[in-house]
Structure 1
């Protein structure tokens, strides 16, 4: 696949969740086909999609190349009572972990279908999702063993603030943060 000349980047919100759910799940199935990750199955992943898209502040960008879905990114602001930072080690300061409901945007997923990897599609989708956000920072979790993915995010300005296993059955993840303003 050659570099897309121009991606059509479409925004979706909480009210669009039912409309885009199948598309998100289908692209996920394609991207994770053959994966041995216990959390990569359609039914497990659907729980994450439903959890995040149920939030009022849910935001999603889907990229299209000549009408063909390329990939997507989505997330939502962390609530004032989030447990996002609770299991990060080393423990972070209370000042760092204090959330207001509008301080930190959690980027839950970013994925691009194989033919469009290495074309800049990931960065375009990521940047469009974050463009104009009011939060002061973005956080995401990356598999600790996925050094190439971590390096990509570091190249975009993210820094690792610790490691976490946020729930039973989850792999070791690196918590990363990008300051927006």
Structure 2
């Protein structure tokens, strides 16, 4: 894996509420998902584009869990493993909602998330040189 992945993983692991779930079949790692709780006054929503109540973009350190990665190796995709990883990551979360960002051209991932009760929230460009992502929200009362 690229060095930047490990740098990011080490940084994420220091955030409050960090969680990592791995998937294995016969001792082979086939996928993983991870995320963390957005801190008080998080900059996560910087670059948000959408028509929502501005209060929904304010973080208090307890409100939102950010799913930052979900990956299943190509040979194991389309077998339900991504959903199992997703559900395991969100199962015992105490936050009222979860959020994630997805590239708009990743139609299979977007359709999967929408079928798992995620809702389109708006778009987000976190940095000037970053792509514009679809921002999705998942309510705590609807975690599976």
State which structure, 1 or 2, has the greater radius of gyration over its C-alpha atoms. 1
Q: Cα RMSD between the aligned structures?
A: 1.5
- Aligned: 1:55 with 2:20: no
Structure 1 residue 115: deviation in Å? 1.2
Q: Structure 2 stretches of 5 or more lacking a match?
A: none
For the residues of structure 2 that align with 1:151 and 1:113, how far apart are their CA atoms? 18
Contact conserved, 2:33 with 2:67, CA < 8 A, in 1? Answer: yes
Deviation digits for residues 20-41 of structure 1, max 9, x if unmatched? xxxxxx3xxxxxxxxxxxxxxx
Contact conserved, 1:85 with 1:92, CA < 8 A, in 2? Answer: no
Q: Specify which of 54, 62, 66 is matched with residue 102 of structure 1.
A: 62
Which runs of structure 1 show a deviation greater than 4 angstroms over 4 or more consecutive aligned residues? Answer: none
TM-score w.r.t. structure 1 length? 0.73
Which residue in 1 is equivalent to 2:137? 177
For the residues of structure 2 that align with 1:50 and 1:81, how far apart are their CA atoms? 21
Which residue in 1 is equivalent to 2:81? 121
Which residue in 1 is equivalent to 2:96? 136
Structure 1 residue 142: deviation in Å? 0.1
Structure 1 residue 91: deviation in Å? 5.2
Contact conserved, 2:31 with 2:71, CA < 8 A, in 1? Answer: yes
TM-score w.r.t. structure 2 length? 0.90
Structure 1 residue 167: deviation in Å? 1.6
Deviation digits for residues 91-122 of structure 1, max 9, x if unmatched? 53222112221111000000001111011110
Contact conserved, 1:106 with 1:138, CA < 8 A, in 2? Answer: yes
Classify 1:170/1:51 alpha carbon distance in 2 versus 1 (closer, same or farther; 3 Å). farther
For the residues of structure 2 that align with 1:127 and 1:113, how far apart are their CA atoms? 18
Which residue in 2 is equivalent to 1:67? 27
Aligned length: 141
